[in-house]
Amino acid sequence: MFWTIIMQLAFSFLATLAFAIITNVPRRSLIACGLTGTFGWMTYWTLMHLDAGTTMSTLAGAFVVAIASFFFAKSKRLPVTIFNVPGIVPLVPGGLAYQAVRNFVLGDYLEAISFSVRVALVAGAIAAGLVLSEVLNHSIRRFREHKENI
């Protein structure tokens, strides 16, 4: 189990880092990008092992990515999207999408639709996690501003 966790940490970091390099993020943000993806993936992976389900695990992972992105963006004084986009990559349902297209091509339409629905649910969970985090961050900022004005 220990080596499995180490491998999950390492490969989620490397996958996120590689995507950050491909998308030309600033060098000073590369490690933070890698950590953002690692935090999100490990949240997803942990919840999957606790039988939370794919959609709920993805929602939580995306939420963690968005929160980590907010903190790294603030500390590095860079836009949040520099951390959000690479950080989400480990959560993207590429394998499910491949299976959906493959089954469409093979003519197994019921299986293809099943995979397509799962892809849509996971994609929706990613979007919802990012939105929930932004709503939370906005609410916290408004509360702090309101508190300072009193």
Q: What pLDDT digit, counting tens, does each position of 22-76 carry?
A: 999 999 999 999 999 999 999 999 999 999 999 999 999 999 999 999 999 999 9
pTM score, whole prediction: 0.90
The pLDDT of residue 120:
96
Residue 118 clears pLDDT 90, i.e. is over it: yes
Q: Identify the residue with better confidence: 119 or 143.
A: 119
For residues 84 and 66, the answer to whether their CB atoms sit within 8 Å is: yes
Q: What is the pLDDT, as a whole number, of residue 42?
A: 97
pLDDT for the residue 27 = 95
- Render pLDDT for 82-100 as a digit per residue (tens, 0 to 9): 999 999 999 999 999 999 9
Q: How confident is the model at residue 87, as a pLDDT?
A: 96
Beta carbons within 8 Å of 119's beta carbon, 6+ residues apart: 93, 96, 97, 100
Cβ burial, residue 96 (10 Å; 0-12/13-18/19+): buried
Q: What pLDDT is attached to residue 53?
A: 93
Reduce the secondary structure of 13-75 to three states and give it as a string.
HHHHHHHHHHCCCCHHHHHHHHHHHHHHHHHHHHHHHCCCCHHHHHHHHHHHHHHHHHHHHHH
Burial label for 150, CB within 10 Å (0-12, 13-18, 19+), is exposed
pLDDT at 144 over 90: no
Please report the pLDDT score of residue 140 as a whole number: 85
Contact 66, 129 (CB under 8 A): yes
Residues 129/65, Cβ–Cβ less than 8 Å: yes
Per-chain mean pLDDT for the chain: 94
